[in-house]
Amino acid sequence: YKRSKLDEAFVCELYGRRADDVIKQMHNGTFTLDNELTGYNRMTYEAILSYINDMTKYDAVTAARTPITFIELEKRQTILFPIEIDGQIVKVNLGGTIDRIDKIGDEVRIVDYKTGSSSSNSGDCNVIDDVFNQNKIQKLKGILQTLIYCMVYSQLNPTCEVVSPYLFVTQNLRNKSSEFKIHSRDDEFANGNYLKVADRVREFTSATLTSIFDPHTPFEQTTNQQMCEHCTFAYFCNLQQKAKHN
């Protein structure tokens, strides 16, 4: 169905007819959908089916206003991002797997799905500078990730005039007042068009990558211990234990 315009009726029919097939494919035969489905497998099935139904209803409402054109799903896209190290240009592979790319009218939507806490996956920020603030990045990390995806997609598709980042938080899909389009409350990024803040995102990305790859810049422990909660290296870093002793 790529590049096809899907209206409200088609979205409802498509998802309703294919829901079980999608779940089977996702689990690759881990369990079967029959009357013997019990325990953890039953809960997993019900949770996934609930997410699909909620997404169907949300997409149907959107498609009722303007048909949705699906461009890509779970598409890995990368670019070579140039930074300067010791006077030399170094190109860094930058990108990731974008959950969903679609188009509504003239707007290309870069969508990232989030199943975690809605408070840590909000698409709203006071000013765009908050996204680049190290003290606030933990709360706004979902926004930053999706903006990076927008940067990658825009570089690969330079003719697009409107590229908007979206966070689809599954916990909020049933809330009709939820806003999934990433935007800021200041005028600069109020309409959510990434291209309005593209230069800022590139500057922040360049500075961050340069600090990581520059051999003259030492790695320093963060002073924000919330950054340690899900860090793979927290055990080796031992920052939280040091804080307890101090």
Residue 234 CA to residue 239 CA, distance in Å, equals: 7
The string of pLDDT tens digits covering residues 51-108 is 878 888 888 888 888 889 989 989 999 999 999 999 999 999 999 999 999 999 999 9
Backbone angles phi, psi at 65, to 5 degrees: -85, -50
Residue 31 CA to residue 95 CA, distance in Å, equals: 33
The model's pLDDT over 9-24, given as tens digits with 9 standing for 90+, comes to: 777 776 655 666 666 6
Tens digits of residue pLDDT in 203-214: 999 998 999 899
Q: What is the pTM of this model?
A: 0.80
SS3 call for 108:
strand
Query: What's the sign of the alpha-carbon dihedral 116, 146, 70, 72?
Result: negative
Q: Which residue has the higher pLDDT, 132 or 27?
A: 132
Place of tokens 């990108």: 95
> Which residue carries 């048909």 as its tokens?
67
Res 127 pLDDT > 70: no
Look up residue 9 and give its amino acid. Answer: A
Q: Alpha-carbon distance 62 to 104, whole Å? A: 9
Q: Using the predicted structure, report yes or no on whether residue 37 has a pLDDT greater than 90.
A: no
Q: Which pair of tokens denotes residue 17? A: 């007819």
pLDDT digits over 213-235, tens only?
A: 999 988 777 777 777 777 777 77
**Is the model's pLDDT at 180 over the cut of 70?**
yes
Strands (E), 115-201: 124-125, 163-169, 183-184
Q: Using CA atoms, how far apart are residues 245 and 223, in angstroms rounded to an integer?
A: 15
pLDDT at 245: 46
Percent helix, strand and coil across the chain, each to the nearest 5? 45, 25, 30
Which of helix, strand or coil describes residue 84? strand
